[in-house]
């Protein structure tokens, strides 16, 4: 029963399913690819937090919108690559999926950081 529960948990979660597929196909985790533009904007926001809270809030709002758009685009790209893999069984596509998963993980991490900073910025006026 435990094995079935674990299998069901993996099958119903797209991220776990992707990771499982990569594992059984022998695709190692890709080196984390970091979107340069987002990283630069994020560092700029962190610098502004110490200089001008009002400017930082504005940049944070813009950054959050861009982050959500990139996350949505990444999910669409992953779905297309998964469909392509289903048709071709290409190892190259799996490698691309592995890179995209790393980027997606980075975007989710940034999203959590944005929420943390927003909470702190708006409570510490």
Supply the range of the domain harboring residue 40.
Answer: 2-123
pLDDT at 29: 65
Provide the domain count of the chain. Answer: 1
Judged on CB neighbours under 10 Å (0-12, 13-18, 19+), 110 is buried
Query: Is pTM beyond 0.75 here?
Result: no
pLDDT at 35: 73
Closest alpha carbon to 101 in 74, 124, 82 = 74
Q: What is the mean pLDDT of residues 104-114?
A: 86
- Per-chain mean pLDDT for the chain: 83
Dump pLDDT digits (tens) for 22-33. Answer: 888 888 765 666
Dump pLDDT digits (tens) for 71-90. Answer: 899 899 999 998 998 899 88
DSSP state of 25: T
Closest alpha carbon to 85 in 100, 71, 103, 70 = 100
Q: What is the mean pLDDT of residues 98-104?
A: 84
């Amino acid at each position: 029963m435990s094995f079935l529960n674990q299998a069901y948990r993996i099958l119903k979660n797209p991220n776990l399913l992707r990771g499982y597929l990569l594992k059984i196909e022998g695709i190692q985790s890709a080196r984390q690819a970091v979107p340069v533009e987002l990283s630069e904007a994020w560092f700029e926001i962190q610098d502004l937090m110490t200089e001008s809270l009002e400017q930082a809030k504005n940049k944070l709002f813009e950054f959050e919108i861009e982050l959500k758009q990139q996350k949505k685009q990444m999910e669409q790209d992953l779905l297309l690559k998964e469909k392509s893999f289903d048709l071709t069984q290409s190892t190259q596509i799996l490698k691309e999926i592995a890179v995209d998963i790393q980027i997606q993980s980075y975007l989710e991490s940034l999203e959590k950081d944005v929420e943390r900073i927003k909470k702190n910025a708006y409570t510490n006026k």
